[in-house]
Amino acid sequence: MPLINLPAFSEDLLAEFAARRTERVDTPVIQPAEPFLDIAGEDLRRRIFMTESETGASLCLRPEFTIPVCLRHIESAMGTPKRYAYLGEVFRQRREGGNEFYQAGIEDLGDINIPSADARAIGDAAAVLSRLLPGKKLAVTLGDQAVFEAVVQALGLPLGWQKRLIHAFGDTTHLEALLASLVSPQFVTGLSDDIARLLGADDEEALVAHIDATMQATGYSTNASRSPQDIARRLKEKLILSETRLDDAAFLVLKKFLSLNVPLINASAALSGFADAAGLKLGNALSRFDGRVAALANAGVDLALIDYRAAFGRPLDYYTGLVFEIGVEGSDAVLAGGGRFDKLMTLLGAKERIPAVGFSLWLDRIETERAA
């Protein structure tokens, strides 16, 4: 039995899903915890309700639907393209609104026409909300992680720093702290004199031998922890990252990019102008962005509803390109959110790459907006 009642508009919502030729699926409330802990990101990890099986396996109450729906698709060996719809309870530790609430959404798996699938996800989310909230003016915020990644890569930062910045995309506080570290590097501290000397000498063989001897002397098992080689490699990487400094010109370029906030109809020109002025080649990322804008226009989506914000991301680590959120103009409540997650299926065990995009609807927030 559900712990809370379904919203009164659920039948309208299911009718919208059916009209979009989706297959409705459900997934167990109790889920293996590992995929969420490994893939979903820190924001969701700290809000999960954990438990365990009789055998000690880590389990959790379902905190979202995207990972369970993808796992179900892989386990059932269904072909693609496939469009799934869901409606059910999710469980998260929340400051307000209760820890149990309903989510619904669509996951679009396997469509190789990326711009068209992206446009369909935004268009479907907006159309469903328009039916549930007649007379309300919607506002859509769009970001693109792939464009941010292209900018970071074009700046020529070490791979480790690129990963750090990309991982922080969408978390303004974390990203600003990382940029501050890049401008004023904090050198590695707390190393023993011997480790510091061997790192400074760039003598990897001697460093590995020293770490191995130390582990043996202190009783650390290489089977239960990282190998000496792995520890040495990580120490060298940490040293390199700590000594990397982003020069003032590159820092200003990155800050300029992150400050872009324009109506989507002007976004392609703004990004192209930014890249030209900065001397950056963003190539495929800009082509894909332009293709998505064209696909949205061709699908009849009102581009005047959409703003592009370069710094905008969503707090789930599996997104790879498009990210978006939809609310009602004048309200801060996020009613729908989604994006593209092309790497998730293979991370979950799919034998081949499956492009994917989708969105979720927060039904409790929609219900509140309907009552306003």
83 is in an annotated binding site: no
103 is in an annotated binding site: yes
Beta bridge partners of 102: 89
Nearest Cα to 167, choosing from 152, 186, 182, 184? Answer: 152
CA distance 130 to 326: 11
CA distance 9 to 7: 5
- Single-letter code of the amino acid located at 52: E
Residue 23: CB partners within 8 Å, gap ≥ 6?
82, 83, 84, 85
- Contact in structure between 333 and 310 (CB atoms under 8 Å): no
CA distance 88 to 100: 10
329 is in an annotated binding site: no
CA distance 65 to 89: 9
How many residues can be counted in the chain?
372
318 is in an annotated binding site: yes
107 is in an annotated binding site: yes
- Paired tokens of 6: 């379904």
- In angstroms and rounded to an integer, the radius of gyration of the C-alpha atoms of the chain is 23
314 is in an annotated binding site: yes
- How many CA atoms does the CB half-sphere of 63 hold within 13 Å? 25
72 is in an annotated binding site: no
92 is in an annotated binding site: yes
Binding site for L-histidine: what residues are annotated?
64-66, 92, 103, 107, 314, 318-319
Binding site, by residue number, is 64-66, 92, 103, 107, 314, 318-319
